[in-house]
Chain A
């Protein structure tokens, strides 16, 4: 796993404030409150024998999470280097493409949807299109063949018709 760590602002950049961690802290704090409040509503059935019920651990965990969030707000690390706007947009593009991949896989079928996804992501990674397109078509076909015929796992066929 690659975790770049807090990429402390390079020399020359204006020193970054801790707004990133503060924002994270606030999000986590809201999450902690919502989580703990939800946990408090869990009543045990007649059988919750034993002194510890279904809400005990979640409550404790929620409180710890909230305290850690408060700590982050109070003592944030220097902010990381966030993506530039264009890089950020392209990252978002991959996320959106992946979302629609899931949504469209059943109507379009595995092969078509995967081919489109591979082309979109390859394009964002600056692929030479002359190679990307044929590979993006071939690869899902081979995968579908292996899954359908070899592993006895059915993939959505959609408009392609499949094997």
Chain B
């Protein structure tokens, strides 16, 4: 059954259904609209698609057109999120945190255009790759998805922690302090396995845990405004250097290609894992890329590969998460949950037998739509990059209040809580102090994102195995992942020994400030 589906794919039919002048126009509108939505912090791809879905229904479009419009909105808003990460250090959602590390540095060095361009190109290549992966290996890969249960997911999270240990900063103790702080934040809220409220102190608001977006915007964007203010007053702030070029050179492209391909592969496979995938992909691919390629300590200081890698991984993860959605009917992320709703309303029930075989038109139209959305976004990128780079020429005295207001109101508008503004400001102060004290910020967010996954998967494993710790090393997959954790942690030292260089120097390099 699977083999037949594999050989019998009908992507061309999908394209034929998808490519009409109207649909291309819709894709353009969707990409633009999505970009606008994505630029607003707190309103990411999920909310964007959720908001626009009923409106598209009211337009009376056919299914293909609806899918194209929504796919374009999705890609557009993801790209919009990357844009603010790069230009303004405002990560609108978990997946774009890593992009800020090098992207924003590039923007400050007058290379925002290159960063935006490689983000779009990387996303396009990753999107293309994951569509191909989905087409060729979708149904068989669904077996991989169910293979990854709580013990395996626990190992994947460990692996993510190991790969991003390279973000620790100059002082390893401070890096660890930051990660630990993040994990502490992650323990706030109702504990799933017992229903106990932890560290909520009677605050109902805290029962659902710390809101990632609020903390990320506080730590990154608000503290950036505070830091820049102080720098300005000190008189040593050239906030943004003037851009010389707004597009990348062929050399920059070839430099990044390796990072893009590796990021795509990691992203796609991590994306297969329901629940864990999307947030881990960017961190993991960035961490690995830094381990592999950061020979000169340029990561964290505006290395173009540091943008290419996580952006590709995020996009590929989105493709990967379609595998469990379309084959098993399992929504692994907020976005795929929304997508499942849309498909059901069109009369497709993923998971019912084989959707690839039974409702091929719409499934292939969906895939073709995603591809078209991706392509249109890349083409739009040429004019958009020029426009976006101009934002940086807005003088700081107006750019800074703009960043603050957009950050505050973006979050307020979806939560209707002024307490969120206070929390963002508080984390802005914490971020400001951390920067001064050389405590890296990214590990705090990483701890926050992954801390809950780490604990819950660990405890789920033990409940399901009725207390047998051997569940963590039962099966080749667990052992393989454990070996990878060890390799990632110690490979740099081993490699540097082989190269004959001093291990200590390597550590100093790896500890480039983040």
Contacts and interface: CB of A to CB of B under 8 A. Distances in A.
A94 B413 contact: no
Contacts of A153: 43, 413-414
Interface string A84-125: 101110110011001101110110001000100110011011
Contacts of A71: 173
Nearest to B454: A57
A151 B43 contact: yes
A6 B511 CA distance: 13
B37 interface: yes
A51 B458 CA distance: 11
B295 interface: no
A77 B173 CA distance: 11
B232 A102 contact: no
Contacts of A49: 463
A80 interface: yes
Interface stretch (B130-138, B221-229, B359-367): B221-229
Contact of B193 (A54, A94, A125, A155): A54
B418 A1 contact: no
A124 B404 CA distance: 14
A5 B170 contact: yes
Given A58-B198, A98-B222, A52 B458 contact: yes
A5 B438 contact: yes
B418 A102 contact: yes
A97 to B, nearest CB: 9
Nearest to B435: A3
A3 B194 contact: no
A4 B234 CA distance: 14
A66 to B, nearest CB: 10
Q: Is the contact region of chain B dominated by helix, strand, or loop, or is it mixed?
A: helix
Interface residues of A, number: 79
A153 B43 CA distance: 11
Interface in B157-206: 169-171, 173-174, 176-177, 180-181, 183-184, 187, 191, 193-196, 198-199
Contact of B229 (A80, A125, A131, A136): A125
A61 B198 CA distance: 14
Given A1-B104, A69-B177, A72-B173, A61 B438 contact: no
A161 interface: no
B507 to A, nearest CB: 16
Contact of B436 (A51, A80, A95): A80
A61 B397 contact: no
A65 B198 contact: no
B459 A50 contact: yes
A82 B433 CA distance: 10
B437 interface: yes
A83 B230 contact: yes
Contact of A54 (B169, B198, B425, B467): B198
B406 interface: yes
Interface string B389-424: 000000111101110111011001110001111101
Contact of A50 (B225, B396, B401, B462): B462
B303 interface: no
B177 A72 contact: yes
A105 B513 contact: no
B285 to A, nearest CB: 18
B122 to A, nearest CB: 20
A36 to B, nearest CB: 10
Kindly name the residue among B180, B198, B434, B514 whose own CB sees the greatest number of chain A CB atoms within 10 A.
B180
Contact of B409 (A38, A43, A147): A147
B12 to A, nearest CB: 37
A94 B180 contact: no
Interface in A13-52: 20-21, 24, 28, 35, 38-39, 42-45, 47-52
Contact of B194 (A4, A45, A105): A45
B104 A62 contact: no
B215 interface: no
B398 A132 contact: yes
A47 B193 CA distance: 8
A39 B201 CA distance: 12
A8 B400 CA distance: 28
Nearest to B434: A3
Contacts of B331: none
A160 interface: no
A57 B108 contact: no
B440 interface: yes
Contacts of A105: 412, 418, 421
Interface of B: 37, 40, 43, 51, 89, 100-101, 104-105, 108, 169-171, 173-174, 176-177, 180-181, 183-184, 187, 191, 193-196, 198-199, 220, 222, 224-227, 229-230, 232-234, 395-398, 400-402, 404-406, 408-409, 412-414, 418-422, 424-425, 428-429, 432, 434-442, 454-455, 458-459, 462-463, 466-467, 513-514
Given A95-B425, A99-B425, A132-B398, 4 more contacts: A1-B104, A2-B105, A3-B438, A20-B436
24 contacts: A1-B104, A1-B442, A2-B108, A3-B440, A4-B438, A28-B177, A38-B199, A44-B196, A50-B466, A53-B194, A57-B187, A65-B177, A65-B180, A83-B234, A88-B230, A95-B425, A95-B428, A98-B222, A101-B408, A106-B418, A118-B401, A128-B397, A132-B397, A143-B406
Interface of A: 1-6, 20-21, 24, 28, 35, 38-39, 42-45, 47-54, 57-58, 61-62, 64-65, 68-69, 71-72, 75, 77, 80, 82-84, 86-88, 90-91, 94-95, 98-99, 101-103, 105-106, 110, 114, 117-118, 121-122, 124-128, 131-132, 135-136, 139-140, 143, 147, 151-155
Closest 4 CB pairs of A and B: A102-B421, A127-B397, A125-B397, A50-B463
